[in-house]
Amino acid sequence: MTKLNVAICQAAPVPLAVSDGIDKAVRLAREAIADGAQLVAFGETFLGGYPLWLDEAPGAALWDHTGSKALHRILMEQAVVAGDERLLPLQELADESGAVISIGAHERVRQSLYNNQMTFRPGLPVLDHRKLVPTHGERLIWMRGDGSTLGVHQAEWGIVGSLICWEHWMPLARAAMHNLGESIHVAAWPTVRESYAISSRHYAMEGRCFVLAAGLVQSKDDVLDGLERAGGSSEARELLEAIPGDVLNAGGSLIAAPDASVIAQAGAGEETLFAELDLSLRDESLASLDTDGHYSRPDVFELSVDTRAKDGVTWRD
């Protein structure tokens, strides 16, 4: 198979209210698959919504802020967990259609939250990728991932993997993913602003792969609506209402080819972006640049990747 139809569902999440977000994601993915998509991508933390109050709400990072604590509690209550039955409709859609679905979520492991870009695969368990380094204010919410979730899915048409947001400025993370031989890479972002578009296109050029740079559309009203769906909180509402402006995540999703050219470009609103990829272009592009092969200089540089899970606790009898 050399031709593959892909889609990015650039949409507004249902912030905080994860079950409602799953319903919307299933509907959008099903529509994209009905229109021919064999791979469907959503943006960063689509399930639960990107926590934009960290950047936008005055005082959100202050110690013991009642609104921030209330929002953290809601995220903890709503977050997906291992074996979460709420996710079954996404797995069933992948199983019945044969499509691969990449979607971001807040995940709870013990008492910590992770930013997880999950890949639902037909007939296989979900493939997790937990963000290695939460960026700046995100560290108030998310735990750091480890090397155990640096992986890819081998589909019949090629290899697909993902990184999240500023992981695309981690040179060694990029090198590790290039070593895994991605044909298609999902770059999950809250918004694909100019620098994020540059990074996504650079990844395509460097990795000689197609890149689906998937962004969200999210407004302050979306977050306030999601807050009420998730049970509400007067302290959280007060914090969110203090956010200036309205549109805070503004799409910009794109699909880039292995030569960094843009195949498809979305606007700022909700839309599903489609493209047909000619996967043979990947092998052709490797003639001039293979950063994992003839451009790698293994006699000079060596990369070691630790894929052991780092749970932090070992119980012994």
CB-facing half-sphere around the CA of 259: CA atoms within 13 A? 11
| Measured distance CA(25)–CA(155) in Å, rounded | 22
Contact 239, 232 (CB under 8 A): no
| Measured distance CA(163)–CA(183) in Å, rounded | 14
Q: Which of 204, 191, 270, 233 is nearest to 68 (CA)?
A: 233
| Measured distance CA(196)–CA(206) in Å, rounded | 15
Residue with tokens 């999240």: 164
Q: What is the reported pLDDT for 248?
A: 84
| Measured distance CA(22)–CA(121) in Å, rounded | 16
* Residues known to be catalytic: 44, 131, 165
| Measured distance CA(154)–CA(133) in Å, rounded | 25
| Predicted TM-score (pTM) above 0.75 | yes
| Measured distance CA(110)–CA(118) in Å, rounded | 18
Residue 156's Cβ-count burial label (10 Å; 0-12, 13-18, 19+) is exposed
Residue 298's CB is within 10 A of a number of other CB atoms, namely 9
Q: What is the reported pLDDT for 312?
A: 87
> Apex CA 178: angle with CA 176 and CA 180, to 5°?
75
Bridge partners for 219 per DSSP: 247
| Measured distance CA(142)–CA(187) in Å, rounded | 19
For each of the chain's 317 residues, which pLDDT tens digit applies? 689 999 999 999 999 999 999 999 999 999 999 999 999 999 999 999 999 999 999 999 999 999 999 999 999 999 999 999 999 999 999 999 999 999 999 999 999 999 999 999 999 999 999 999 999 999 999 999 999 999 999 999 999 999 999 999 999 999 999 999 999 999 999 999 999 999 999 999 999 999 999 999 999 999 999 999 999 999 999 999 999 988 789 999 999 999 999 999 999 999 999 999 999 999 999 999 999 999 999 999 999 999 999 988 989 99
Q: What is the reported pLDDT for 246?
A: 87
Bridge partners for 5 per DSSP: 276
Q: Is 136 left (phi over 0), alpha (psi -120 to 50) or beta?
A: left
Q: Which two tokens stand for residue 131?
A: 């963000």
